[in-house]
Each structure stands twice: as structure tokens, then as C-alpha cells.
């Protein structure tokens, strides 16, 4: 590959970008809604379950829509991105997926541990739910960043 040639993205890399952007935006909207309410309302009285559910739902739907839009744009450009059938997931994609997942696992473990500790101390459900949500968000972002780094810089 020539240094002046643009770096092509694989389908899997585009999916990682779509998920990272959609989930980060949906989670940011959740926190923009919840934090101001938490500043003047006790945590036990904050209505957080429905906004959290809708945030997670929006993250998933946003990811799907972003993937579809990205694939349509790539299709209109006529690029095949080194994927003859347009769908192939090669060994590199699989290894990147494994490494990203391994990097995210400790974040999830910490989140579940924190939730268990909070539950054992009879802390309000708001804090337990948000601890799990925040650790899941951190895991998702960490996994995506590791994957994108591996796609761009290699192993």
C-alpha cells in the first residue's frame, strides 16, 4: 500500500465506530437528563429507570441506524474495502474482537463487584443501577477504543 493511498475501513471497523458514537451520545443524553435532577432531588426520588432504559434502547437503535447509513454510503461510493463479498470477517477482525473484549472484561467485573457491594450495604437502587450503567459504558468505550487502535495501528 502506498503512503498516499487512503486507509480503508473494514465493515467491522465501521460497526465499532457506529456503536461507539451512538452509545456514547445516548448515554450522554441520559446523564444530561439525570445529573441536574440529582442536584436538587434526593437519589431515592429521582426518576431514573425509564430514562436509563430509553438511553440503552436509543444506543442500540442508533448503532443499527448508523451501521445501515455507513453501509449505504460505502455502497454508493462503490468501495469493496478488500472484502470481495462485502461481508467477510477475517482472522484479523476476529482477533481484534477478542482483544477488545478481553480489555473490556475488567470494567464489567468492577461494575458488578461495585453493584454487589452497594446491594449488600442496602444502598438505594439508583446508585446500584447507575454504577452498573456507568461501568458498562466504560467497558463499551474501552473496548471500542482498543479495537479502533488495533485497526489503525496494528498489533
Residue 125 pLDDT > 80: yes
pLDDT (0 to 100) of residue 2: 54
Would 92 be classed as within a structural domain?
yes
Task: Read off the pLDDT of residues 40-98 as tens digits, 9 standing for 90 and up.
Answer: 999 999 999 999 999 999 999 999 999 999 888 887 776 555 555 555 667 888 899 99
Cα torsion 78, 84, 88, 94: sign: negative
Residue 13, C-beta contacts closer than 8 angstroms, at least 6 positions apart = 147, 148, 151
DSSP code at position 79 = -
Q: Is 2 a member of any domain?
A: no
Supply the range of the domain harboring residue 33: 11-153
The tally of CA atoms less than 13 A away on the side-chain side of residue 22 is: 22
- Residue whose C-alpha is closest to residue 52's, from 120, 119, 137, 116: 137
Q: Please state, in angstroms and rounded to a whole number, the distance separating the CA atoms of residues 126 and 112.
A: 15
Is there a domain that residue 84 lies in?
yes
| Position 85 in a domain | yes
Q: Number of structural domains, the chain? A: 1
Domain for residue 1, yes or no?
A: no
Cell numbers found for residue 67? 451501521
Residue 16 has pLDDT above 90, yes or no: yes
How many angstroms from the chain centroid is the CA of residue 13?
13
Separation between Cα atoms, residue 80 and residue 133, nearest integer Å? 37
Amino acid at each position: 500500500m502506498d503512503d498516499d493511498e487512503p486507509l480503508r475501513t473494514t465493515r467491522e471497523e465501521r460497526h465499532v465506530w457506529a456503536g461507539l458514537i451512538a452509545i456514547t451520545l445516548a448515554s450522554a443524553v441520559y446523564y444530561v437528563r439525570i445529573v441536574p435532577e440529582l442536584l436538587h432531588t434526593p437519589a431515592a426520588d429521582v426518576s431514573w429507570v425509564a430514562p436509563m432504559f430509553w438511553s440503552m434502547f436509543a444506543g442500540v437503535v442508533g448503532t443499527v441506524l448508523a451501521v445501515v447509513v455507513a453501509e449505504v454510503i460505502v455502497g454508493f461510493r462503490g468501495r469493496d474495502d478488500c472484502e470481495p463479498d462485502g461481508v467477510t470477517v477475517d482472522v484479523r477482525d476476529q482477533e481484534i474482537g477478542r482483544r477488545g473484549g478481553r480489555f473490556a472484561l475488567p470494567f464489567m467485573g468492577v461494575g458488578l463487584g461495585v453493584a454487589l457491594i452497594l446491594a449488600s450495604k442496602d444502598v438505594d437502587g439508583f446508585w446500584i443501577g447507575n454504577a452498573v450503567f456507568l461501568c458498562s459504558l466504560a467497558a463499551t468505550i474501552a473496548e471500542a477504543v482498543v479495537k479502533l487502535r488495533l485497526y489503525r495501528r496494528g498489533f
